[in-house]
Amino acid sequence: MSVREITFAEALREALREEMLRDERVFLLGEDIGLIGGVFKVTQGLYEEFGPERVRDTPISEEAIIGAAIGAAIAGMRPVAEIMYMDFLMCGADELINHLPKIRFMTGGKLKVPAVIRTQCAFYRYAAAQHSQCFPAFLMNTPGLYIEVPSTPYDAKGLLKSAIRDENPDIFIESAALYRVRGPVPTEEYLIPLGVADVKKEGKDVTVFAFSIMVHVALSAAKKLEVEGISVEVIDPRTLNPFDKKTLIESIKKTGRLVIIEPDHKTAGVGAEVTAIVVEEAYDYLKAPVVRLAAEDIPAPFSPKAYNAFLPNEERLINTIKSLVKRSK
Amino acid sequence: MDVKSLSKELLLDMYYKMVLIRRFEEKLVELYRIGKIPGIAHGYIGEEAVAVGVCSALRRDDYILSTHRGHGHSLAKGVDPKYLMAELMARKTGVCKGIGGSMHSTEPEVGVIFSSAIVAGSIPIAVGVALAFKMRREDRVVVSFFGDGATNRGTFHEALNLASIWKLPVIFVCENNFYAISSHVSRFVSAKEIVDRAIAYNMPGKVVDGNDVLAVYEVALEAVERARKGGGPTFIEARTYRWLDHGMYYLGKYRPDEEVLAWKQRCPIKLFKERLLREGVVTEQELERIDARVLQEIEEAIKFAEESEETDLEFTKQFVYVR
């Protein structure tokens, strides 16, 4: 299998293109995704290749975009809708929360809704409180939605292809901060099953649970700690629903310590749920309390100085791990 | 519309469907009061001519999307009353297996693709279904039913705009019964007439007497034909009245007695029956036979529902995800 380095955005584009070539029911809709290839250029070139019917520019109408994706999906199509910023998902919240995850259930399984809603959390864009949000825990708390949170180009491509083929509604959460990150991606086709976490780095002293952009922070911290003799295992869930408890708990059994680093708010965030899972199902293996490093419980500030401190970072992660290992020797 | 230009079979079917809806809803009220139907439910009595007039203009493979007040739409499109009754009674044999209840009737086989209980919530979904038909070059059309209150939601406006710019085969049917729960349209609709809202979305808008089934049928037929030929969406405002309160409970006095009485005197079933007999296209006996058949069907539906198994928690869990 030959492998080359491509960016996260290129990996997503390849996934979309391959699935559109493979299945004529797949089509894209969203704001500015066609003519200009998207404001983040993820869909660049697809409008030229597939035409305006299958790469549909839409008005600024999130309710109608998500609603139309639902309608097309229940009528047998495979829509992939793009919502430019995760914040804007809330503009379409009625369709996103009251309809998308509930239609299969409410109809006693008569309908299925194989729609994908792609969106992105704009980390480090200093875009203030309405263009910076990350609220996957809200979606985890809404039964009926699959949630993908890829961190690498490899995962992004494999997960997006699986999400498009999957029969359930998927919320596919990307990040503009990752679009230019490069990584190895095979030229041959591959899929990543939904609900299988990836051990991004093996280690034996402490488990770091991280998703999306925080995986890179965790890996960088792990590398530095290795030099100091602390062996860090990095677990990337890749999907938050289905959630792979098994891989996480196996890791806790090995390390006995868990640090969560997450880009969403701390209170009732993803880390709160992960902590609860570990306390309920692996308490006996813990050598130390679980520690959460999360975004502050305030809306995202604009000031870069303030924003950079608002999100957890590598330095804090390194210090946290060091003191945790020290106190629980 | 000239009654004599229509087949007797169609006319009798329209009459049958209207009476079926009326008797079904009367039973709903009765069963609700004695606690045999749980949850919340909304009656369609008084509005039968809209659902029947519109659905009579559709093919079986055309789709409709319905609302919280949806029993009439489902029955008019051909849902078997026994499966709908079983749903209302929360049985596994129900149209949504006892998981959806009154407000989510879905039976794609006969063209009821989905019903949403969120006011205006099914309108953008109808637009998406129409998009699927158009992309696949199918000559099917979609009808989106909603009430006057829905036209004040943003999602209504987003959906109509999208349907218009994409020229989709969808017919928007606003059942204007003049009251969004307690609020009269004159208080909350800024447009002079609801139908004027169609102008903003560059689509034809028609007002029709929603208590005259043939008038509704005629307007719907034209809109369906236009949509089927690629002419795009149409907006129909059918003016009608609900005889019952918003739901199953008395919410207070917000409608003058004379108004309620005047509309009841214009009962859509009575009007249609009188016309059919006056024009001599059917006999009294033929209609009585239908009346008797409906009563029997409703009794059978109740029996079927009551004999069906109640939906339990474990059973429901398999329908959240496709695994």
Yes or no: domain A198-327 corresponds to CATH 3.40.50.920: yes
Q: Does B110 touch chain A (CB under 8 A)?
A: no
- In Å, the largest CA–CA distance within chain B is 58
A·B CB contacts under 8 A: 140
CATH code that applies to domain B3-317 = 3.40.50.970
Give the mean model confidence (pLDDT) for residues B264-280.
98
Q: Does B169 touch chain A (CB under 8 A)?
A: no
pLDDT, one tens digit per residue, over B210-226 is 999 999 999 999 999 99
Share of chain A above pLDDT 70, in %: 100
pTM for this predicted structure: 0.97
Class of domain A3-186: alpha beta
Task: Say how far apart CA B20 and CA A117 lie, in whole Å.
Answer: 41
The single residue of A99, A131, A216, A265 carrying the catalytic annotation is: A131
- Identical fold for domains A3-186 and A198-327, yes or no, is yes
B180: closest CA of chain A, how far (Å): 19
Task: Say how far apart CA A9 and CA A232 lie, in whole Å.
Answer: 29
Q: How far is CA A292 from CA A208, A221, B91, B323, in A?
A: 10, 15, 46, 32
A208 close to A232: Cβ distance less than 8 angstroms = yes
pLDDT, one tens digit per residue, over B75-113 is 999 999 999 999 999 999 999 999 999 999 999 999 999
Specify burial of residue B115 (Cβ count, 10 A radius: 0-12, 13-18, 19+).
Answer: buried
Cis previous bond, A299, omega within 30: no
Q: Which of residues 129-148 of B touch A (CB under 8 A)?
A: 129-133, 135-136
Domain limits, chain A: 3-186, 198-327
Can A131 be counted among the known catalytic residues? yes
pLDDT, one tens digit per residue, over A175-217 is 999 999 999 999 999 999 999 999 999 999 999 999 999 999 9
Question: What pLDDT does residue A11 have?
Answer: 98
Task: List, for chain A, all residue ranges whose pLDDT scores fall below the cut of 50.
Answer: none
Question: What pLDDT does residue A329 have?
Answer: 80
Question: What pLDDT does residue B43 have?
Answer: 97
Domain limits, chain B: 3-317
Task: Say how far apart CA B235 and CA B174 lie, in whole Å.
Answer: 8
